[in-house]
Amino acid sequence: MKKFNSKSCEEIMTTVYRPIEFCIDNLLAQGLYILAGAPKVGKSWLALDMCLSIAKGEKVLGQQTTQGTALYLCLEDSYVRIQNRLYEITDEPTERLHFVIMSESIGNGLEEEIENFKNEHYDLKVVFIDTLQKVRNESESSYGTDYKELSVLKALADKLEIAIIVVHHTRKCKDSDPFNMISGSTGLSGCVDGSMVLIETKRGSRNAKLYCVGRDI
């Protein structure tokens, strides 16, 4: 006979749990996140800045970071472009930041690759996947397929106790709610622990706002 593995209110309230760890205070905790924005708005620059700051234990966007290893899957870039971007924002390399330009897809080896990297780098804090489309298997977007695919990454983030951020695009149409602009079905935002949307105040202005919402922020 199957039964629920339930816990009482009293048991939960009297148990001492390890607190949720943030790799970026008030912004990125352990779990799965989306970072969305229009093409060329600066998502990859922001992702790189976050990775570099976590690897060095420096502030980013005015927030403290928890230092540790960062893994950045730059699946639309080359090492030459990565090098150029790095020199734009830092003169000091760090051994805690690693880059990948080719990977397997979700359900076809990506999770194993990330888990093996975690086994080799015990202090892994964050993995950026740029972009989500590069690791997807489903060509069509529906609530069921979107939720199912991201659930795999969500389970992996929870298992490894790390933050995984997938970089994604926004729709061309504007909306009063920035999170409605995330491309795809609501299955994407419904599955993740948090969503970040980068919107330029005016195209080409190089000024943007980062809208954030999440279960722990």
Name the pTM for this structure: 0.93
The CATH number for 20-209, chosen from 3.40.50.2300, 3.40.50.300, 3.20.20.70, 1.10.3720.10, is 3.40.50.300
Where do the structural domains in the chain lie, given as residue ranges?
20-209
Contact between 18 and 8 under an 8 Å Cβ cutoff? The reply is: no
Provide the pLDDT for residue 51.
97
Q: Residue type at 119?
A: N
Contact between 60 and 117 under an 8 Å Cβ cutoff? The reply is: no
Summary mean pLDDT of the chain: 92
Cα distance between residue 121 and residue 100, in whole Å: 15
Q: Which residues of the chain have pLDDT under 70?
A: 139
Provide the pLDDT for residue 201.
80
Structure-block tokens of residue 43:
């998502």
Contact between 129 and 166 under an 8 Å Cβ cutoff? The reply is: yes
Provide the pLDDT for residue 139.
67
Cα distance between residue 99 and residue 79, in whole Å: 8
Long-range contacts of 177-185 (CB under 8 A, 24+ apart): 178/211, 179/211, 179/213, 181/36, 182/34, 182/36, 183/36, 183/141, 184/141, 184/146, 185/141, 185/142, 185/143, 185/146, 185/147
Structure-block tokens of residue 74:
């730059």
